[in-house]
Amino acid sequence: MTRATSDIGHLIDTAEGWVDRSIYWDPDIYALELERIFARSWLFLAHESQVARPGDFVTTWMGQDRVIVVRGRDGTVGAYLNSCPHRGNVVCHAEAGKARGFVCNYHGWSFGLDGRLAGMHEGEAFERTPGFDRRKLGLTPVAKIDTYKGLVFATFDPDAPCLADYFGDFTYYLDVMLDNDEGGTEFLPGCIRSILPCNWKVAAENFAGDALHAGWTHDSGAQAMLGRGVGKVSYENSYQANVNGHCWEFNLDLLGNAATFGDRSVLSWLRTREPEMAQRLGPTRARMVGSMASVNVFPNFSFLPGQNTFRVWHPRGPQETELQTWVLVNRNAPGHIKDAYRKGVMMTFSPSGVFEMDDGDNWQYATRANDGVVTRRQRLYYGLGFGTEIDHPELPGNVHKGQVNDANQRAFLGRWAQLMDARSWSEVAS
Ligand code: FES
Ligand SMILES: [Fe+2]
């Protein structure tokens, strides 16, 4: 990798491993992120199981834009801005539900499941108005929407590459969680929402590749859950891999993350499933399903294999992030296993979970320390793991030996800088 020299790129020195702190506090950089990262990238919206039948909907955000995700009468999933084209009011305030359409509280415009303007209070007055054309007054749809093995993604940018190209070879890794069983996956009902006083990238980077903190930050939490600490993270058989800024750090211990639930039923279930998973995914990926690992799908969709917490870090300003968390399970898993995952996520990665509380304080102060005008001029060191790149006979993408590494975080920020400097997708290398 070479040192970038453009406006934003010079803030990220992937060659020497330095990062300018302004990317975590500068309001102008944050405003540009909303344009060039969030209004441009494919963003995670929902699991298909949340919108299984026509009329099922969830509301969420793409950056700071509110969107409604809804399955239409024709069975396809659409996503629309959750803002009325009349005076801009939010048209759906519920987080999830089932509807025949959406009615705006302000002046009574109503919209179909396909976003079209269906009716209006005092409709005759509008119909008498010269130039009025209801076909131009529906809810604004996203530019592109697509699914990958049960997960729904969308982008606001019509020039974005297709979802398959956006992921590239990263689907090899995604299938570890999304395709280790023929029945596929689902989200358990319910979503946990919380506010974190940190920059969204601090959280995304942590999941992209911060195995380093696990054995230190989470050691006491692990002692509470496991009866012992995390210990030293293995170098042998552990890796960081990234493709197009999507990052997966992992080892091949099968059970490391799953063990932190302190519930042995999940461990024995995963052990008995290993041969079947190996047949489906090959022996390497079968060892990754419950292993000590963490993942960030660029830009802000993270999950933990084994603990099965799936989450989005929604940006709310340079110093605030709104977190949505769900629990992913295999659809065909026995009920008691699904329940063990649900309880396990609540005890580890929820606002009251032991590990989430560990992380929250660190992320808050890593962000807020930049309030100091001298502090914010200092650079941060991201040089761990230079020289660990390897060619692996099976693992695709940029692969680095050793889980304790900054390689994925450099890749995440490198992709971020590439998008921030590009005027359009045509200038972004894949
Ligand atoms: S703002 Fe929605 S009907 Fe007027
Ligand atoms: Fe953590």
Q: Do residues 62 and 140 lie in contact, with contact meaning Cβ atoms separated by under 8 Å?
A: no
> Is residue 277 within 8 Å of residue 265, measured between CB atoms?
no
- Shared domain check, 248 and 139: no
Token pair listed for 41 = 């990238």
Instruction: Determine if ligand 1 sits within 6 Å of the CB of residue 44.
Output: no
Determine whether the shortest distance from the Cβ of 73 to ligand 1 is under 6 A. Answer: no
Q: Which of 146, 177, 209 corresponds to the end of one domain?
A: 146
In a domain, 335, yes or no: yes
Contacts of 115 (CB under 8 A, 6+ apart): 78, 80, 138, 139, 140, 141
- Ligand 1 centroid to Cα of residue 139, in Å, is 11
Q: Is residue 95 part of a domain?
A: yes
Ligand nearest to the CA of 111: 1
Closest ligand to Cα 91: 1
Q: Which residues of 111-126 are buried (b: 16+ CB within 10 A; e: fewer)?
A: bbbbbebbebeeeeeb
| Ligand 1 pocket member 104 (CB < 6 A) | yes
CA distances from 12 to 39, 212, 281 (A): 21, 20, 36
Q: State the first-to-last Cα distance of the chain, in angstroms, to the nearest integer.
A: 14
User: Is 161 part of a structural domain of the chain?
Assistant: no
Q: Ligand 1: which of 89, 110, 134 to mutate, most ligand atoms within 8 Å of CB?
A: 89
6 within a domain of the structure (yes/no): no
Predicted local confidence at residue 3, as pLDDT: 40
Same domain, 87 and 122: yes
387-407 confidence digits (pLDDT tens):
999 999 999 999 999 999 999
* Å from CA of 96 to ligand 1 middle: 21
d(CA 240, CA 407): 7
Q: Is 109 in the pocket of ligand 1 (CB under 6 A)?
A: yes
3 is a domain residue: no
Q: Is 121 in the pocket of ligand 1 (CB under 6 A)?
A: no
Residue in this structure with the two tokens 């969107």, named with its chain if needed? 67
Whether residues 89 and 132 share a domain: the answer is: yes
Cα(355) to centroid(ligand 2), Å: 6
The pLDDT of residue 5: 45
Ligand 1 pocket, mutate which of 81, 84, 126 (most atoms under 8 A from CB): 84
Q: Both 181 and 280 in a single domain?
A: yes
Which CATH number do you get for residue 103?
2.102.10.10
Q: Is the minimum distance from the CB of 92 to ligand 1 under 6 angstroms? A: no
Greatest distance between any 2 Cα atoms in the chain: 74
> Whose atoms come closest to the Cα of 222: which ligand?
2
CA–CA gap between residue 241 and residue 297 (Å, rounded): 12
How much is the pLDDT for 379? 97
61 with 196, same domain: the answer is: no
Give the range of the structural domain holding residue 94, as residue numbers without chain letter: 43-146
**What local confidence, expressed as pLDDT, does residue 430 receive?**
63
Distance between Cα 90 and ligand 1 center (Å): 9
**Is residue 86 lining ligand 1, measured as CB closer than 6 Å?**
yes
Cα 91 to middle of ligand 1, angstroms: 8
Structure tokens at 63: 């950056």
- Looking at the structure of the chain, the number of domains it has is 2
Reading the block at residue 296, the tokens are 């960030």
127 and 221 in a common domain: no
Q: pLDDT tens for residues 79-105?
A: 999 999 999 999 999 999 999 999 999
Q: Is the CB of 342 under 6 A from ligand 1?
A: no
Rounded mean pLDDT for each run of 10 residues along the chain, 430 residues in total: 62 96 97 98 98 98 98 98 98 98 98 97 96 96 98 98 98 98 97 97 98 92 81 85 98 91 91 97 97 97 97 98 98 97 94 91 96 96 97 97 97 97 89
Tell me which residue of 31, 139, 127, 26 sits closest to 85, measured CA to CA: 139
Same domain flag for 181 and 271 = yes
Q: How many residues does the chain have?
A: 430
Residue 309: closest CA among 285, 281, 343: 343
Identify which ligand lies nearest to the alpha carbon of 90: 1
Closest CA to 296 of 367, 345, 240, 357: 240
Q: Which amino acid is at 278?
A: A
The answer to whether the beta carbons of residues 58 and 50 sit under 8 Å apart is yes
348 lies in the same domain as 396:
yes
pLDDT value of residue 210 = 97
| Contact predicate 364/230, CB 8 Å | no
Q: Which ligand is nearest to the CA of 357?
A: 2
**pLDDT at residue 245, as a whole number:** 98
- Residues 428 and 417: beta-carbon distance below 8 Å: no
Q: Say what the pLDDT of residue 4 is.
A: 42
Contact 325, 345 (CB under 8 A): yes
Residue 4 lies in a domain: no
Q: Give CA–CA dist 48/154, Å, rounded.
A: 13
Which of 83, 107, 110 has the most ligand 1 atoms within 8 A of CB, as the residue to mutate?
A: 107
Q: Is 377 in the pocket of ligand 1 (CB under 6 A)?
A: no
* Structure tokens that stand for 139 in this block: 């809810």
Neighbouring residues of 313: CB distance < 8 A, sequence distance ≥ 6 = 196, 200, 203, 204, 300, 302, 321, 322, 323
- Among 83, 93, 106, the mutation site with the greatest number of ligand 1 atoms within 8 A of its Cβ is 106
Residue among 323, 53, 328 nearest 207 (CA): 323
Does residue 34 belong to any structural domain of this protein? no
Closest CA to 388 of 249, 215, 284, 288: 249
Q: Are residues 232 and 121 in the same domain?
A: no
Whether 110 lines ligand 1, by a CB cut-off of 6 Å, is no
Q: Are 138 and 236 in a shared domain?
A: no
Query: Could you tell me if 78 and 18 lie in one domain?
Result: no
Alpha carbons 63 and 155: distance in angstroms, whole number = 11
The answer to whether residue 187 is domain-embedded is: yes
The pLDDT tens digits of the residues spanning 27-63 come to 999 999 999 999 999 999 999 999 999 999 999 999 9
CB under 8 A, 24+ apart: contacts of 66-69: 66/90, 67/142, 67/154, 68/92, 68/102, 68/139, 69/45, 69/152
The answer on 246 and 120 residing in a single domain is no
Ligand 1 atom nearest the C-alpha of 108 is 3
Token pair 């302190």 is found at 262
| CATH code of the domain covering residue 236 | 3.90.380.10
Look up residue 35 and give its amino acid. E
Residue ID of nearest Cα to ligand 1 atom 3: 107
CB atoms within 10 A of CB 171: 17
* The pLDDT of residue 304: 97
